Structure 1
Amino acid sequence: MSNTAPWSTLAASPVAKAESLKSPRSPMSLQEIMDEALALKLYEEECQALEEKPVAEGVWSDLETKPSARELYGADWEGDDDDGDVGQVPWTRSAASTTATKPKEAKPRLERSNLVEGASSGLVSIRETMRRWDKDARRSVQSGSRVEKAHFATQDSVLDPKTTLMLQKLINRGDLDEVYGCVQSGKEANVYFARGTDEDTLQPRQYAVKIFRSTLNSFGNRHEYVTGDRRFDLAFQKKDARRQLKEWTEKEFRNLSRAAKYIRAPAPLTVKEHIVVMRFIGDSEGHPAPTLKEAKLSHAQLQHAYVDLLVSIRKLFHQAKLVHGDLSEYNVLYQHQKCWLIDFGQAVDRTHPEFLTYLRRDLHNVFQFFQRRGLTEATSEESSGILSEDMAFEFVTREEDAYEVLHAFPELHALFNEKS
């Protein structure tokens, strides 16, 4: 399957198409409406193909198969053969590498033998249970009485009875074995450490359970990242809070499904309402990998991390056809001297009218972080340094083969080859 279908808005240069997406349009004729419906159907099929494409043995396999890669990367080049399984090479955390703390034990830990109160041995479906709760809530409102607070009260910011029941359902059906304490709390979600078993190999696996908050107040501009995205733009702002939250969670799952095929991003396992289960990036004891903000990196490690991150942004743009939209040092994990991108809820497809604006903002955040950490901007092709924001934008968006692009930016070669 070609990277771009002939009918797609991506067929031409993405930079050239950006302006056409923003320009006002006259009322559509019947034929144009029919053409648009057909284009949307074909576009959905292309998106589905991108998300269902099997994961390659290594997301950098195209770099590994070309001998020139080692010449470009110099003596510091390392193969990525271990990228496929973090568990084979556990990350050993040192005091100097991160300030992350060990996850607290859940209260109580969810496991198969610990059924949630209200769940029978017959495993009443979550949909049926939620239907009963919503029915009770409507009756209470109609009668003027107050809805029972326990139905909507939260524990640890996100764990209300509905959410707890969903987690128990995931355990009961075998997606997870145990759920532990919170390892990360953010503006829109909490992340919990969990263990499971791979169905194919029966090997233990570590997962991150991301639970979005049941209110949208903590991140009220979500509609900006949905309106204009042809995959989800169906009157998002007119939907009730529950449907908005469910759609936002599905957006994160689908973006991760696509991104993890091409770059280092946690591959998702399953999605349920406002819960996404994905691969855990960290060690087997539940210590998450540090973010770029937390990691203590040498000058040489910073140089390699910069190029690694810039190449990831390019691959995300051209192969996954996504722009992260909220990229910063807080949304990049650093493990085994590699960068892993996380938090894809804000990521937008290249059909979004503001995708280039979001790309420039991502590149600005990257430039500012590495500049604060001591890397200087390259002033000439012979000098060693990070690319200016405009040059980085050109590096990411240029349509040529990746190796032709790398050769067009000698400053990146210097970053790889310089030692400190």
Structure 2
Amino acid sequence: MSGSREEYGLLDFENVEGVGDEWEEVDVSDTEADRIARKRDREFLEFRKRIKDAEQFKVEGSVFDDATFAAIYKLVQDGHIDAFGGPLSSGKEASVYEALGPDGTVAVKVYRISASDFKQMRDYLDGDPRFEGIGNDKSKVVLAWVRKEYANMRRARDAGVRVPRPIAVERNVLVMEYVGDDGQRGHRLAEVSVENPETAYEVVREYTRRLYDAGLVHGDLSEYNIVVHEGELYVIDLGQAVTVHHPNSRDFLERDCRNVANFFSRQGYDVTGEEMLAFVTGESE
């Protein structure tokens, strides 16, 4: 990957009022998708059969329960999805699919409620005022996680961080901007050869600072959660991002800085996690 400062140009950003969206209410009560799944009308049953019979979903039985089908059905009805394509990636907790939206290709991230790492999610949700009172209901925890990712992506974009644009969320399904070309997702930073590590590092460092100034800490930032597409760097996977008021936010931030610095050091640019942390928090100033 070659690049210049112009290619990695930073986004302009709006001034975010206050720090964090920690007081934003996150509703995990029944959605329209839940009501559709319970009602199971003829059109929904036909839609479910059509999706279940599609070749690309035959191995994804653990992902698509009735409520998930209903969530996708609702997103189709609302005009966010016109047609499904094949899978782009599949992990333990979620699978990402290519789909056609009204304005072109979108990415659809579907979380597995049954297979998600409940304990790990609790580590990031506990202590975040947005999610007090959720309790130990696994379904509600996963639904909160998805809505949290949507909210974090919106706040990151407002802060001038290049992330996939969040489009819609319904239950455990998140629709967002597709970062890639013709069925080929953008490459993660770990998958490319970085020919200008200093410039790439400065962009990642600045994005981390903008997140922090907006009251967010990514919490899992590394070369595996940064995507390169058309000479630009995108930060992805913000589901675990916490507000700066989270009791473990400092530990998460220190780990993010250490991971990023270690990666770019291996690319030949001499930097430390401590230097990045001081820049992000303003302590170097």
TM-score bucket of the superposed structures, by smaller chain: 0.7 to 0.9
Matched with 2:201 is: 306
> CA separation in 2, counterparts of 1:274 and 1:341?
21
* Amino acid of the structure 2 residue aligned with 1:278: M
Q: Deviations over 1:95-137 (max 9, x none)?
A: xxxxxxxxxxxxxxxxxxxxxxxxxxxxxx633343358xxxx
Q: 1:249–1:275: 8 Å Cα contact kept in structure 2? A: yes
Q: Work out which of the residue numbers 265, 273, 291 in structure 1 matches 2:171.
A: 273
> CA separation in 1, counterparts of 2:109 and 2:165?
13
Matched with 1:211 is: 110
Cα gap change, 1:221 to 1:264, in 2 (>3 Å)? same
TM-score (norm 2): 0.79
Q: Work out which of the residue numbers 150, 153, 156 in structure 2 matches 1:256.
A: 153
Aligned-pair distance for 1:245? 1.2
* Amino acid of the structure 2 residue aligned with 1:228: G
Q: Work out which of the residue numbers 398, 415, 420 in structure 1 matches 2:282.
A: 398
* Amino acid of the structure 1 residue aligned with 2:98: F
Q: 1:305–1:337: 8 Å Cα contact kept in structure 2? A: no
* Amino acid of the structure 2 residue aligned with 1:128: R
Q: Judging by fraction of residues, say which structure has more strand.
A: 2
> CA separation in 2, counterparts of 1:373 and 1:176?
40
Aligned alpha-carbon RMSD (Å):
2.7
Q: Give unmatched runs, 5+ long, in structure 1.
A: 11-41, 49-124, 134-149, 198-203, 378-385, 400-404, 409-420
Higher RCO structure, 1 or 2 (CA under 8 Å, sep 6+): 2
> CA separation in 1, counterparts of 2:205 and 2:154?
20
Q: Work out which of the residue numbers 288, 310, 317 in structure 1 matches 2:212.
A: 317
> CA separation in 2, counterparts of 1:2 and 1:251?
21
> CA separation in 2, counterparts of 1:159 and 1:397?
42
Matched with 2:138 is: 241
Q: Does 1:334 align with 2:218?
A: no
> CA separation in 2, counterparts of 1:231 and 1:258?
14
Q: 2:108–2:174: 8 Å Cα contact kept in structure 1? A: yes
Q: Work out which of the residue numbers 389, 392, 408 in structure 1 matches 2:273.
A: 389
Q: Deviations over 1:211-258 (max 9, x none)?
A: 011225545311111111111122x4x331211111111111111111
Matched with 2:44 is: none
TM-score (norm 1): 0.55
Q: 1:305–1:338: 8 Å Cα contact kept in structure 2? A: no
SS of aligned partner of 2:84 = strand
Cα gap change, 1:2 to 1:259, in 2 (>3 Å)? closer
> CA separation in 2, counterparts of 1:347 and 1:245?
14
Cα gap change, 1:356 to 1:176, in 2 (>3 Å)? same
* Amino acid of the structure 2 residue aligned with 1:185: S
Q: Deviations over 1:146-205 (max 9, x none)?
A: xxxx9xx972541233322322331233111111111011232110011112xxxxxx32
Question: Which shows bigger deviation, 155-164 or 264-273?
Answer: 155-164
Q: 1:179–1:193: 8 Å Cα contact kept in structure 2? A: yes
Q: 2:215–2:243: 8 Å Cα contact kept in structure 1? A: yes
> CA separation in 2, counterparts of 1:208 and 1:338?
18
Cα gap change, 1:290 to 1:2, in 2 (>3 Å)? closer
- Equivalent pairs, count: 249
Q: Give unmatched runs, 5+ long, in structure 2.
A: 1-13, 26-31, 41-51, 53-57
Q: Deviations over 1:12-33 (max 9, x none)?
A: xxxxxxxxxxxxxxxxxxxxxx
Kindly, what percent of the aligned residue pairs are identical? 33
